Amino acid sequence: MDCQPRQAVQLPSGLAALPQLLQTWQDGLLMLLDYDGTLTPIVERPELAVLAPETRAILCDLVSVMPVAIVSGREVHVLRELVDVPGLVYVGNHGFEMENLAGEIHSLEDVQAYLPALDAVEQRLREGLAGIAGAFLERKRASLAVHFRLVAEVDISQVQTRVQEVLSEHPQLKVTLGKKVVEIQPGLDWDKGKAVEWLLPQLDASGRRHPIYIGDDRTDENAFRIVCRRGTGILVREDDHPTTAHYALEDPGEVRLFLQQLIRSLKGA
């Protein structure tokens, strides 16, 4: 497949292209899905992103016809509780937690060395952001998310400034920008793309299946760059930006419809 970047607004519809794509997907498929903004709408707080029963039923059908993995910034144990579909494989913490088919979780050993710095940043930011209405932290073992979706537009620069000030004291950490969230992570050469590269042979030992990755965030671009070499990337499009995805869906509702049509076609219904 083509790995050349293009603007998100230029991507053709994945729904419209599905009949044609099915003719080229002859050796089996495997599905990789983001959670927030892909399977559920983007909401004000992470705990409000609850999977709809209809979507859970679709995932149950999907896992009966192909290997399926959820690739998310959330922790694996949180994803298991939210999704609650037997047979899925989970990649959490933007790739810092990876699960194999036996359900064993692999965490990067090097992460341990970064935990004291993450602890220190968390403490400083809890103090530094306390006076900014709407700003809140989400601590995960291997990362720290600074959410500012609920922050007034005039105060967002304060959040960004305080994050930069604190991080300047901890150059061993890195920042990944998401949708109204700053992800603070160990400064390792690791991301969703590297995790997907590790995961693909776990899900498809023969290397014959065609991987499909569906995601909505800038953090998914690393995964698109890996999948585009042999598979199909589908962006859940909210705004315009350069992407190596091949097709677009407009929202989680279209993702459900795409998966439903895909399942029906594979089952010959």
| Residues annotated catalytic, as ranges | 34
Residues 6+ apart with CB under 8 A from 50: 40, 82
Distance CA(88)–CA(80), nearest Å, equals: 9
Distance CA(49)–CA(193), nearest Å, equals: 24
- 10 Å Cβ neighbour count for 72? 29
Instruction: For residue 11, give the DSSP letter.
Output: P
**Nearest-CA neighbor of 75 among 47, 44, 113, 42?**
47
Structure tokens at 243: 């992407």
Instruction: For residue 71, give the DSSP letter.
Output: E
Distance CA(85)–CA(244), nearest Å, equals: 29
Task: Say if residues 248 and 13 touch (Cβ distance below 8 Å).
Answer: yes
- The type of residue at 167 is L
